Amino acid sequence: MLPDGLIVRLPPSVRALFRLLGGVVGRNYHHGERNLVAVSVCGVFGMPLYYFVWHDLFPQPYENLTLRLIGGALCIPLAFKDHWPEGMRRFAPILWYGTVLYVLPFFFTYMTLQNDFAPVWLVSFIAALLLLVFLVDWLNLIVLSVFGMLVAWIVFTLGNGQVSDPNVFMELTPVVLFALVVGTVFSYRNETLKQERLDAMLMAGRNLSRELREPLLGIRTSTVSLKRYLPQLLEAHELAENNGLAVREISTGHRRALGNSLERLQQETSHASTIIEMLLRNTGGVPVDPSEFQVVSMAECVETALQRYPFASEVERKIVKVKMTRDFGFLGSDSGMVHVVLSLLKIALSSVAKYGKGEVLIELATSPGDCELRIRDSSAGPPPGRLANLFDEFSLLESDSGTGPALAQAKKLVEAFAGAIAIRSERGQFTEYVIILPPASESGAVV
């Protein structure tokens, strides 16, 4: 996957292509990430070990120690991927993809051809395809299998390799097709079940949010009315008391509490409405309509988000520092960008609160080709190995991710504005979310 933390200043069309390719690689990496270390360890020892099995114990027509050592060497860094330097972890999906391609479809196809379809290698080839089913999703299963077998056949042909009975290709084709079809169906069904589970969670969130919006709206409306007329009623009560009329006594403290409670009630309902709106957007309950995009000030979006964010206390509010020396405009939706800022701010403040230290810095930066909004928290950062799939919607199913659906939805919104979102992190030092957008003129044209 082209990592989200890698910022490359390229034209929007090229970025879109890279995002597409990165999505294919990323799907593969996330699908097999839980088994990555275990499979890599097996590859480190298994690749060279089986050279002695097929060369000395049960000799086969062809063996190649060099090819096996290359495969084992590719697996070594993946076996220790959780201990990589933070800056290198973003390349793990690319190495994983290349290693799977080499070790399974390419290597086993090439060795089967070189051994002239010996029975033991036919079985090994089918076993490799079955293992591939469990490591990748259905799309990558097809891509890796077809591409790996094709490259192996080309290398075999260029090396003047020959098969004694060409008809074996025709005999093996139905078996390979059956394995691929069954594997694709199995993998696709597994992906479908995951998506159905995610959809059910998001639907529950949308329904709950919609059900809560109406009562909150009613409370807010009633609060506005009370705030308008209650002071007059309290004043009338005080006048009645002062003039000796028979009214029930209300202490000065209680009168003050009544006035303050309305202010608190209005703040709490406003905060709750903000959270519900964020939940609705995160669950896809608020669609994005590009026809309504206009030139929006990023500084105004940040200011609006800070005004609407439900800070737990004044202390938490003071944790957030803002540096906006220069504003910029982008073509998009102000409400959408406000939601993105709210979501990233919530994640940053949650991280600071979790580790009990740090602050949050919001900063705008411009360059001739791009404009950036940076939100950095100086807390401990995400756990090792988590950066690669923080923006993957299926990672939302992990209870310890700490981000909920916010990052996945934020990425979709930013990409709808022709931008990109990246994450930089140094364990124990900081985590920084960077939103990169093409600048827009007042007419709405992208500069």
Query: Which pLDDT value is given to residue 171?
Result: 78
Q: Take residue 26 and report the two structure tokens written for it.
A: 């990323």
Q: What residue type is 303 in one-letter code?
A: E
User: Across the chain, which distance is largest between two alpha carbons, in Å?
Assistant: 117
Query: Which pLDDT value is given to residue 109?
Result: 93
| Cα–Cα distance for residue pair 320/166, rounded to 1 Å | 71
Q: How far is CA 399 from CA 16, 107, 231, in A?
A: 31, 37, 47
Rounded to the nearest 10 degrees, the angle between the axes of helix 119-135 and helix 12-32 is 110
Q: Where are the beta strands (DSSP E) in 26-135?
A: none
Query: Which pLDDT value is given to residue 401?
Result: 41
Strand (E) or helix (H) holding 374: strand 371-377
CA 366 to chain centre: 25
What value does the CA radius of gyration of the chain take, rounded to a whole number of Å?
Answer: 30
Q: Which CATH architecture has domain 291-437?
A: 2-Layer Sandwich (3.30)
| Cα–Cα distance for residue pair 374/260, rounded to 1 Å | 37
Start-end ranges of CATH 3.30.565.10 in the chain? Answer: 291-437
Q: Take residue 411 and report the two structure tokens written for it.
A: 């990425």
Show the low-confidence residues of the chain (pLDDT under 50).
1-8, 384, 394, 396-402, 443
* Look-up of token digits 């608190």: 264
Residue 159's Cβ-count burial label (10 Å; 0-12, 13-18, 19+) is: exposed
Query: Which pLDDT value is given to residue 104?
Result: 93
